[in-house]
Every structure is written in C-alpha cells, then in structure tokens.
Structure 1
Amino acid sequence: MQISQKLFLAFVGLTSIVLIATLSLARWSFDQGFLDYINSLEQERLASLSEDILTLYATSLPAVTEEAESVLGWYKLSQNSLNQTILTHSRLPRIPRDNNANGFDKPPRPAGRLAEQPRQGPRQPPPNMRPGASSHRGGPPTGLYSADDQYIAGTVIDKKVDTISYPLMYNQQVIGYLYSNPMREIVSSSATAFAQQQRWTSVGIGLVCLLLASAIAWWLARFLLVPVKQVMLGVSYLSKGDYDQRVMDTQRADELGQLMANIDHLAMTLSKNRSAKNRWLADISHELRTPLSILCGEIDSIKAGIRAFDSTQLISIEQEVLRMKHLVDDLYELSLSDVGGLRYHLTTVNISESLDSTLVSIASSMHEKGLTLSKQIAPMLFVSADVRRLEQLFINLLMNAMAYTDSPGNIDVQLTSQASTVILTINDTKPSATEAECEHLFEPLYRQDTARTRRGSGAGLGLTICKNIVEAHNGSITATPSLMGGLCIRVQLPLLRKSI
C-alpha cells in the first residue's frame, strides 16, 4: 500500500471517529435537552394551575379563623371542579373521546359534595384515578395533595418514581402540593416523529461531512506527498552521485521547504568537495611529477654519459628529493590536522618573545633576498598555545611573505592587543592579490599565479596548515590586499593575560 493511500485512510478514519463521536454526543444532548425543555414547561403549567386552584380555594373559605382554613378549605371544594381545573391546564394536544362537546375526557363522577363527607378521613380517589393514570388524555398526570400529603383531586401520583412537585402557598402557609410525573422518554407520536426526523437529519449531515472530509483528505494527502516525493527524488540523486540536480521549492517556507534547502545545500557541498578532491589529486600529481621528472632526466643523463656523476649532480638530485620530502611531510601534516590528529600541548606562552625570536632567526634570510623587515611588537602578551605549533605558524607565514614578495621589498610585522584578543598583522609589498583570490588562499595546493611559476620550494600547503593551527587555538586568520601593495595576513588569538 502506498503512503498516499495510508494517509488518505488515516485521515478518513480519524474524521469518521470524530464525526461519530460528535453526532452521538449531539444526539444525546438533544434528547436530554428536549425532555428538560418539556419538563420546564410542566413547571410553568403547574405554576399557572396553582394560581387557579388558589383562587378557588380562597373563594370557598368561610369566615373562620386562620387555624381552620387548612382544615376546612379543601373540603369546601368539589372534586369535580378541581378535576376540571386541572384538566383545562393541559398544554399538550388533547384527544376527543365519547363525542364530548368540549373535546375532553369526561371528568370522574363526583361522589357528592365533599363538605358532606366526614372530615376525619382522607378523600378516596375515583375508580378511574388509579396511580399513574392521567386525569386527561393530553398532558402528564397531575395530582392535588393536601399539606399533610393526602390525596384531594386529579391523578394519584406514584411518589416512588421521579415526580415534579409545586407547593401551594396561601397566607404564607403551605396548604397543599401539585404533583406531576416528568417525562423520561418520548412517548407521543408527534414527538417520536420529530425525534426520528432529527435522527435522520443528523445521519444525512454526518454522511455529507464524511464525503467532504474524504475529498479534503484525498487532496491533502496528495498535497503533502508532493514535497515528500521531491525530497525522495533529491536523495536518490545524491545516492547516485548526481550532485547537480536541485529540489528546492522557493514557494515553501515550512519545514519541508527547509528540508529541500538542506538537501540542495548538501548536494552543493558534496559537489564542491568532489571538485576539491579531484583538483587536489591533480595538484598533488603535478607537484610530485615536477621533481620526479627532473630526477628522471638527470638520472637518464648520467646513465647516457651526457653528464658526469659528480658532486654538482648529486646536489641537484638531493634538492629534488628534499622537495618531494617536504611536499610529502606537508601533506601528512595537513591530513593529520584535518582529522584532528595533531597533538597540542597548551601552556601559557609569551607570544611576544616567541614571535621576536622567530623574526631574529629568519632575519638573515630576508636580508639575503633583499627584503627589509620592520616590526612593532607589544611586550609581554600571553596566550594559551602550543609553543612548537605557534612557532610553526610564524615561520609558515613569514616564509610565505618572503616567497611572494618581490625584491627589493618590505615586510612589516605588528603584534598588538585589543580587548581580550591578540592581533598579529603581516603586511608585505607587491605583488598583491584580489579580493576573490584572497578567499582561496587558505585552500590546499592553491596558488595565486595560475601558471604555477615556482617562487620557492613550497607546494601551496603552508597557509592551509596555518589556518588549521589558528583554529585549533580558537582563533581566526584572514587575508586581504595590503595598503603596502602586497598581501595582509591578520591572525587573532584569545589573549590570556597582560603583563603588569
């Protein structure tokens, strides 16, 4: 199964679960709310009914004391009038019966005037007013009870189940109660039809929403997979070694767009590294081929008897061998530096003294080449460094300046401090280098002159080794055109402390 199908099924499944849960909760909430609404109407009906019953109660009272009101009031009223009052306050549709003119059930036949009955015993409900039976066909059963919970009129209410009660207050006294059974389920045909209509409406809405969600899920799955497929295509290009293909989508600014940009950057980096490797192999081959060609030529000349094997030829052969040894040593040291194989024993070093001693050691070589050395060294500047690697850094930088400075020329060396940084600056006179060339000076085997005119015994690895040494000491090194007409090398190292 493809990932697009899995995404589509996942979206549809999740949507279906959420939709079913939402519709089920909405249906349950509707049923409960509908019944609560009907029961709240029942409370209002009982309140309206209580007003009419209290009016009948007040008009039937004789001029007696308040203590006798609760005793005599209900027995002055006929049960028929109370039943008729209860019947007329039904708010639900009424069904005609026995061709009664008013459309109501016939009220129970009264057993005579209640006032003529003995007052000691409670009233007995009519035969058709059994518990749970409605006094009319339209509304819920309603019963009238006295304050001491004795049946008076209406329907006998079973109080063991849930009931709705409404107290009857007269002269700030409870003289009776109205009881009604609340609806716990929909029983009428109209309410049932309405509930079924709402149920089918909910099902229809759910199906429409599911179809809409399926369409959106299908589109969303395809939309999300487009950049994923592009990423997979870019990775396949990389695995095949094709680093020139690009998958970047400039219109995307999300995580997938960032992933595409990273893949493109990785492709450019791999392409650059492959080009650098090929160029480096070509440069190494060139650097080794030159002394080897000279050696082979001189050996062939000696073997052919063209040249005599004397001290002059021996010295010439020795120079070419030393040139190759120097190149191999540089390559080995550079490889160790790149993989972190060079060991650094950091100690507190007076960089001012170390630089000054290095300048003294090569002063004679500069003078022989016709170069003038000027220096300005701030005293007692200390750094945390490896003494041997630090001296190697100075020698490589100064030898590079000597190799690429025409005679007569000047080399200016300055060592200063600024804030928490030691700054070494080496300026020389022409020839110079452009800004673009300065960016490549620290690359392995890079030479400023494309004709590779040999200015010395170096192989173009000195500045690369210098960069690795500086970075190992948490510093930085840059090259820019010098104001003196040549090149300016600037080295920054963390200052450990100043002398007092």
Structure 2
Amino acid sequence: MERLRTSLTTKIFLAIAVTSALVIGTMALLVALSMRDGFSQYLLRGELNRFGRLTRELALAHDPAAPGWPDLAADPRAFNDFVRTHFAPPGGADAEEVAADPLMIGDRLALVGPDGTRIAGTMARTAIFDQRPICIDRGCREGAPLGYLRLNAPVLTDSASDAFFLRGQYASLAYAAFVALLVSAAAAYLIAQQILTPIKRLQAGAKTLASGDYASRIPLDRTDELGDLIAHYNELAETLARTSQAEREWISNTSHELQTPLAVLRAQIEALQDGVRQADDATLAEMHAAQMRLSRLVQDLKILSYSREPNLLAQSTHEDLVEIVVEAVEMARPALEAAGITITCDMPEHLPLKCDRTRIAQVVDNLLQNTRRYTDAPGTLGLRIWHSGGMAHLSVDDTPPSPPDDILPRLFDRFSRAEASRSRALGGSGLGLSVCKAIVEAHGGTITAAKSALGGLNITFTLPDGRP
C-alpha cells in the first residue's frame, strides 16, 4: 500500500511538473525566436532611417512622364552610383567604403515600384525585410508613394555587439525559465500534497470503518470536492454507528420480547409436569394465549425483515379501500366496544386502490388494536377516508391519553412504546406501528403520527389510488 501511495504522489507531481516544463519550454523557445527576429527587425528599421536623403533624391529624380525611374532600371551600375552619391553613411564613413560593404547596401537594398515589383538593386527578398516609401512630400499626403526602398535583413550578423546583446538576452531567458521550472516543481509538490493529504485521511478512516469502529470522524477543513467527500464519509460513519446501535437494540429487544411468552409457556409446562396444575381449560387458554403472542411476534419480525424486499407484498390487485376498512372495523368492533370505545366512520361509498389486500387489512387492524390498547374508557375512535390529489388517505383519531411530544417522532421505531409495562400487560410487542410503516412504504405510501383533535393520537397513511 505504501508503494501505491508513493506512485500516486509521483504521478500527480510528474503530471503537473512535466506539463509546466513543456509550457515553459515552449514559451521560452517562442520568445527566443521572436527575440531574434524582433532584434533583426529593430536593427533593420534603424538602418532604414539612414536613407532619408536617398529617398528625397529619388523623389526629385522621378519623372511623372516616365514613371518607374527607367534610367536606373536600365543600368544596375546607375542605381549603385546613385546610391553611392546620395547615401549618407553613419559615423562619417566614406561612401565608397559603405558601398563596398554587401551587408549594408549591395546585396540587401532594392528599389521597387508601388506594386512591389523590382526596379533596381538586389533581386533577393529574405523573410525579414522592411521598406521605406518614396514620396513627393513628407508622409505621402498628396498621393500614393512613387515606390519603395526595400532593405533585407542580413543573413548573418557578424557584429560582436549584436551577438553579445543576443547572448545576454538568451541567458536571461534561460535563467528565467529555470526559475519558473523550480517554482512549478515546488507548486506541483505542494498541490500533490494538498490533494493526497485528505485522501490519506480517507484511506485511514476507511480502514477504521472496516475494523468495526464507527466512532472516528475526519476533520472537515476543506470546501472543495474532497471536502464534500469527507463530509459524505462522516455521514456514512454516523449512519453506520446509528445502524450498529439500532442492530444491538433490535437484538436485545427481540430476545427480551421472545423471552416473555417463552417463559410463560415454560412455567405452564413445568407446572403440568410437576402436577402443580392440571391441563384444564384455563391452563390451556393461558398457554394458547402465550403461543399466539409468540406467533404474532414472529410474524411481525418476519414482516420487518422483509420490509425492504419486493416479496413483502404477495400480489397487488385492484381493491376497494372502503370495503377493506369496513371488514376490519366489523371484526374489531366487539373488542373495541368491550373496552368502552365508540367507533365513528366518515368514508365514501367506494375508493379504488391497487394493493395487497391482506397487508392493508393488517395495517388497519393494527391501528384499531393500537387504539384499543392505549385509549382510556370511555373513549372514541374516529376513522375517516378521503381521496385527494390522486392519493387515498385514511386517518385514525382517538381520545386521550396522547403520547408525549418526545415519543411522537419515534412511534414507528421497532419496539417503541409510550409506556412499556402497560403495553406488555396488554399483549403488545411494540412492533405494530413499525409493521404498518413497512407495509405502507412497500406500497409507495407514507404514514405519519400527530396529536389528535380528539385529544389522543392521530395516525394517517396515504397510498397511491388504483385509478388509471
């Protein structure tokens, strides 16, 4: 793993450093070429400035009746003599000396017409050249130029001062490129470390999570994408910690709930074996009640274990929600009335619904039994069904007592009770509302708990209707 981290560091460093080196090298090369050509152009422009007298004399020698200086075009020596006569060399050099130097005049100077055609002088034209217009007046304000003096850049520069200047510029450019490369390398290293530091933290955190320790968190000190990844890691660790705690509580509560009916059955069986009790109707009824409670608990656990699997619902068919509710109410009415609870219903004649009929009937029965266990007598149960926004709604309200405010958000948690001892005394397992939530959500619906307008608890669930 250490080799992998080193490889990643090297890859990031090389990717940034090599890219920077290529960019800097390319820019240095282009600047060097531009500097050489630019310096040649600069020298050429300076040389052309010395041809002021020659251009004036060419303008005076121009004959409008015979444009193009035919006398100079007919005889190359005439053009050379004209230049030698009217060119003012710098530094007081002798005109004959200047004319004999090919780098100054002979091989580089040409007289061209307004359209660029050569009239006299050198026939060659190098890649770098400049030209000076020949005008009747200064600036050619009274018409187009009569022609141009074109001067080519020298192919080789033998001047020691020029070579010294270029060498100095190249050296400065090379030094600047070297410094830029060092800065780029340092920046590449810092960027690589800036990227790899949080990655190493995430790697260490992942090892910690894999070992089963969900308490570790990574400090969130970034606001970029890696910061988002660290935030997601911390959320994952928090979720795993809650899940682990819930799993431990689930196992503890499940074993405790299973222990109660099993203890009752064991006590009854041992009493029968010891002859303390007889297998009469009362004893068998108690044993049957304990067995039924154990069976309901196992069934609820099975439903909750399948809550996130598609096979929780046997088959969804087109049903009538009102018909399902009426059947459930009629079955629960004797027990509710025996507990002193009056039932009131407000529902339409029909409400089509695509659902698993058995599971929805189980939800309604759980809600009715929940009211029977927790509502004081005399009490009232209000059941209402309505349709709105393409959804079927069912609401169950009851009279006091009402669960405490801090219990409401946890009513649908497994083994959640507002008062544990009372629930066990009435045979509740603490799974009824959890089962309701699992079934409703498996149908694509929602279920909520709130304070009831009647003073007790309100449970409302919403399901997609079966209308096309």
Same fold (TM over 0.5): yes
1:399 equivalent in structure 2: 369
1:316 equivalent in structure 2: 286
- Is this contact kept in 2: 1:430–1:486, CA < 8 A? yes
Whole-angstrom CA distance in 2 between matches of 1:419 and 1:23: 70
1:197 equivalent in structure 2: 168
1:113 equivalent in structure 2: none
CA separation of 1:144 and 1:32: change in aligned 2, threshold 3 A: closer
2:139 equivalent in structure 1: none
CA separation of 1:344 and 1:444: change in aligned 2, threshold 3 A: same
1:379 equivalent in structure 2: 349
Cα distance per residue 1:461-500 (max 9 Å; x no partner): 22112112211222110011223222110111234459xx
Counterpart amino acid of residue 332 in structure 2: I
- Is this contact kept in 2: 1:166–1:177, CA < 8 A? yes
Moved more, 234-243 or 177-186: 177-186
Counterpart amino acid of residue 51 in structure 1: R
The normalised TM-score by structure 1 is 0.79
Cα distance per residue 1:281-337 (max 9 Å; x no partner): 111111111111112212222222222233332222222222212211221222123
SS in 2 for 1:454: helix
Counterpart amino acid of residue 369 in structure 1: A
Shift of 1:419: 3.2
Shift of 1:351: 1.6
Counterpart amino acid of residue 134 in structure 1: D
2:411 equivalent in structure 1: 441
2:229 equivalent in structure 1: 259
SS in 2 for 1:253: coil
Quote the sequence identity (%). 28
- Is this contact kept in 2: 1:141–1:180, CA < 8 A? no
The answer to whether 1:234 aligns with 2:205 is yes
Counterpart amino acid of residue 489 in structure 1: I
* Pairing of 1:290-301 with structure 2 (within 5 A): 290-301=260-271
Whole-angstrom CA distance in 2 between matches of 1:225 and 1:187: 55
Whole-angstrom CA distance in 1 between matches of 2:345 and 2:275: 52
Whole-angstrom CA distance in 2 between matches of 1:174 and 1:303: 134
Whole-angstrom CA distance in 1 between matches of 2:353 and 2:197: 55
Q: Which has the larger radius of gyration?
A: 1
Q: Which structure carries more helix by proportion?
A: 2
Counterpart amino acid of residue 485 in structure 1: G
Count of residues in correspondence between the two structures: 453
2:122 equivalent in structure 1: 157
Whole-angstrom CA distance in 1 between matches of 2:217 and 2:106: 78
CA separation of 1:41 and 1:243: change in aligned 2, threshold 3 A: same
Whole-angstrom CA distance in 2 between matches of 1:378 and 1:140: 113
CA separation of 1:193 and 1:294: change in aligned 2, threshold 3 A: same
- Is this contact kept in 1: 2:68–2:119, CA < 8 A? no
1:330 equivalent in structure 2: 300
CA separation of 1:306 and 1:38: change in aligned 2, threshold 3 A: same
The answer to whether 1:35 aligns with 2:40 is yes
Shift of 1:205: 0.7
Shift of 1:218: 2.7
* Pairing of 1:121-200 with structure 2 (within 5 A): 134=101, 141=107, 157=122, 159=124, 178=149, 180-200=151-171
Cα distance per residue 1:209-242 (max 9 Å; x no partner): 1222223233323222332222222212211111
Cα distance per residue 1:376-418 (max 9 Å; x no partner): 1133222222222221221111111112222221111111233
Whole-angstrom CA distance in 1 between matches of 2:273 and 2:143: 143
Q: Which of 223, 239, 244 is the equivalent residue of 1:274? A: 244
Q: Which of 18, 25, 31 is the equivalent residue of 1:26? A: 31
CA separation of 1:240 and 1:384: change in aligned 2, threshold 3 A: same
Moved more, 268-277 or 25-34: 25-34
2:82 equivalent in structure 1: 82
The normalised TM-score by structure 2 is 0.84
Counterpart amino acid of residue 93 in structure 2: G
1:473 equivalent in structure 2: 443
Q: Which of 18, 22, 45 is the equivalent residue of 1:13? A: 18
SS in 2 for 1:308: coil
CA separation of 1:389 and 1:308: change in aligned 2, threshold 3 A: closer
Q: RMSD of the TM alignment (CA)?
A: 3.7
Shift of 1:433: 0.9
The answer to whether 1:104 aligns with 2:94 is yes
1:211 equivalent in structure 2: 182
CA separation of 1:191 and 1:5: change in aligned 2, threshold 3 A: same
1:345 equivalent in structure 2: 315
Whole-angstrom CA distance in 2 between matches of 1:329 and 1:69: 114
